Structure 1
Amino acid sequence: MVKVVEDIFGIAINPFTQKAQVVRRYTISNSSQLSVSVIQLGASIQSIKCADAYHRVQDVVLGFDDIAGYEAHSGRHFGCMLGRVADRVANAEFLMDRRKVRVSQNLQSKHQIDGGFIGFDRVIWELDKVLPDGITLKHVCQHGHEGYPGNLHVLVHYTIDDDNRFFIRVEARTDQTTPVNITNHCYFNLAGHKAGREGIVEHRLVIAADNTIETNEESLPTGRFSSVTNTVYDMRLPAFIGDRLRQFEQKPVQGFDVCYAIDKDFDANVLHFMGRFLHPDSGRYIEVHSNQPGLRFSTANDFPDDMRDEEPIKGKDCARYYQYSGFGLQAEKFPDTMNNLDFPTAFIMPNELYFHETIYRFGVQESWMCCATPEELEEMGVSIKDT
Structure 2
Amino acid sequence: MAKSEAPQIDISGSEGVLVARLAGDWTTRWARQMQSALDKAFAGHSRPDALEFDFEAVTALDTVGALLLAQRRASFGEAVRTTIAGASGAQANLLGHVNAIEVHAPEKPLRLPLLLRPFERLGRMTAAALGDLVGIHAVLGRTLAALAATLTLRAPFRFAALVNQFDLIVFRAVPIVVLISVVVGAIITQQSILQLNNFGVAIYVVDLAAILMLREVGLLLAAIMIAGRSGSAITAEIGSMRMREELDALSVMGVDPYQALILPRMLALLIGLPFLAFIGAMSGLAGAAIVAFVYGGIPIDIFLDRLQDALNVRTLLVGLVKAPFMAIIIGLVAANEGFKVAGSAESLGKHTTASVVRAIFLVIVADGVFAMFFAAIGF
TM-score category, normalised to shorter length: under 0.3
Structure that is richer in helix per residue: 2
**Structure showing greater Rg:** 2
TM-score, normalising length from structure 2?
A: 0.21
Q: TM-score, normalised by structure 1?
A: 0.20
Point out the structure with the larger strand share.
Answer: 1
